[in-house]
Amino acid sequence: MSASGFPNQNLIVGWVLRTVAIPNINPHQIMKTTQALTKQAITKKEEKKVVAPIEEAKKVELEKVPVSELKRPMVTGWVKEEGIKSVLELEEEKRQAFQERMKYKKEEEKIYAEDTTTSTLKTTRELPQIPKGEGAETSTFCPHCGKDLGWKFCPYCGKPLPH
């Protein structure tokens, strides 16, 4: 044992040469490796920290820094928030876009209908009527165009549904 508490490096090199059966092993390289390991062990031993007892660790309290000592930039005036839209704004935007699409679609249908006009037949015969239900269920029909939907706005005419 040396003064630092570690074994003699020459004894370690001799033990490695006797134990490891590798032909033409370099004793100088073994000595350099042993020296590096010993140096690392000594530095780790010196860096080892003392652990505080649990009682002392529980008593530690953080001090609150006063707001006056915080160095933060002070904002003056109004802060403009860009790009943040509420749910209602997003819903209104979707509804407007859908109305525009439907307007163009109706225009295309009118143009197509004008191109392929057919004569209509008028008859005096009465056609059977569709019976109306007498249920107390909430209606999902659009009162403006008559489509059966479960949305807040009618996708065909764009008007708000009453349910």
Q: What is the pLDDT of residue 3?
A: 67
27 has a pLDDT exceeding 80: yes
Taking the model in full, what pTM does it have?
Answer: 0.30
**Cα-based angle 38, 42, 46 (whole degrees, multiple of 5):** 170
pLDDT in tens, 40-49: 888 888 777 6
d(CA 30, CA 9): 10
Q: Which sign, positive or negative, has the C-alpha torsion 74, 77, 82, 88? A: positive
Contact criterion met (CB below 8 Å) for 149 and 142 = yes
pLDDT in tens, 85-115: 788 888 999 999 999 999 999 998 888 877 6
Contact criterion met (CB below 8 Å) for 30 and 16 = yes
Domain ranges of the chain: 1-48, 90-111+142-163
Residues of the chain with pLDDT > 70, as a percent, come to 69
Element (H, E) at 123: none
Round the average pLDDT of the chain to a whole number and report it: 77
